[in-house]
Amino acid sequence: MEEDELELAAGLEAELQLGPAVQAAIEQVFPSQDPLDRADFNAVEYINSLFPTEQSLANIDEVVNRIRLKIRKLDDSIRTVVRGQTNVGQDGRQALEEAQKAIQQLFGKIKDIKDKAEKSEQMVKEITRDIKQLDHAKRHLTTSITTLNHLHMLAGGVDSLEAMTRRRQYGEVANLLQGVVNVLEHFNKYMGIPQIRQLAERVKAAQNELGQQILADFEEAFPSQGTKRPGGPSNVLRDACLVANVLDPRIKQEIIKKFIKQHLSEYLVLFQENQDVRKAL
C-alpha cells in the first residue's frame, strides 16, 4: 500500500514538474516565500521541518489545523479564480453576442445603403431616360419647326414665283427662283408626300414657263430678219439673263445660239452670195 502511494506521489510530482522558464515566469508574476511554492519542494523535508523531534508531535493537531486552514484559504482562492473565470466567460459570451448583434445591425445598415444606392441608380437611369426622350423630342420638334418654316417659304415662294413670272418681273424672279430651288432641296426625302410633290411639280412648271417665256422675249427683241428693236435691249432682257443663269443651262445656250445667229445672219448671206458668184465664174 505504501509503495502504491509512493508511486502515485512520484507520478503526480512528475506530472507537475515545470520547466525552468515557466517556473521563473511564475515566480516573477507571483512572488512567494512559502516553501510549498518552491520548485524544489520536498514533502519529507517539509514534514521534518514541522516536526523536528518526537516532542513536537504533541502539536500535530495544531499543525494540521493550520494546514487545513491554509487549504481552505487556497480552496477559496481557487474558487474565486474559477468564479472569476466563469464570469469572464459569461462576459465574453455577452460581449460576443453584443458583437454579433452589432455586426447584424451593421449588415442591416449596409443592406439599407445598398438598397438606397440601387434605388438612386434606378432613379438616375429613369431621369437619364427621360432626358434622352426630351432631347429626342426637342430634336424632332426643332426639325419639325424648321421643316414647317421651309414648307411655308416654299409654298409662298412658288406662289410669288408664278405671279412674278406672269408679270415678267425677272429681277425679282432671279433671286426668288434660286431661293425656292435651295429650299426645295430640303424636301427631296419627302417627295412621297402628295403636297410636296405637287409643289415640286409647280416649281418645275414655273421653270419651264420661264425658259419658254425668256426665249420668246429674246426672239421678239431680236427678230430673225436681223433688225433690232429700236432702243436696243431693255432692262427686262438684262434681268432675263439673270434668270437664265439660274435655269437649265440649255436655256442659256439656246439664247446665246439665237443671239449669235442673229448677229451673224448678214455674214452668212454675204458669204453665201460670194460663194454663188464664185461658182458662176
Average pLDDT, the chain: 77
pLDDT at 113 over 90: yes
Look at residue 4 in the predicted model and tell me its pLDDT.
54
| More confident site: 134 or 228 | 134
In a domain, 44, yes or no: no
pLDDT, tens only, 1-44: 445 544 544 554 554 566 777 767 777 766 766 766 666 667 77
Residue 234 counted as domain residue = yes
Question: Could you give the number of structural domains in the chain?
Answer: 1
Residue that wins the pLDDT comparison between 44 and 256: 256
Backbone φ and ψ of 234, nearest 5°:
-90, 175
Contact between 165 and 210 under an 8 Å Cβ cutoff? The reply is: yes
Full 3-state SS string of 106-118: HHHHHHHHHHHHH
Is residue 169 assigned to a domain?
yes
- Whether residue 269 is contained in a domain is answered as yes
For residue 96, is it within any domain?
no
Q: What angle do CA 86, 91, 97 make, to 5 degrees?
A: 130
Cell of 1: 500500500
Owning domain of residue 174: 141-280
Residue 280 is placed in which grid cell?
458662176
Would residue 108 count as lying in a domain?
Answer: no
pLDDT digits (tens, 9 = 90+) for 146-170: 888 888 888 888 888 888 888 888 8
User: Is 58 domain-assigned?
Assistant: no
Among 64-68, 103-107, 178-182, 219-223, the least confident range: 219-223
Mean pLDDT to the nearest integer, 108-112? 91
Specify whether the CB–CB gap between 186 and 147 falls below 8 A.
Answer: yes
Instruction: Give the integer Cα–Cα distance in Å for 167 and 48.
Output: 154
In a domain, residue 171? The reply is yes
Q: Identify the band that residue 232 occupies on the pLDDT scale cut at 50, 70 and 90.
A: very low
At 231 the pLDDT is 42
User: CA–CA distance from 39 to each of 9, 20, 33, 136, 263 (Å)?
Assistant: 15, 9, 12, 93, 148
8 A C-beta contact, residue 180 and residue 158: yes
With residues binned 3-state (H G I as helix, E B as strand, rest as coil), the percentages for the chain, rounded to 5, are: 85, 0, 15
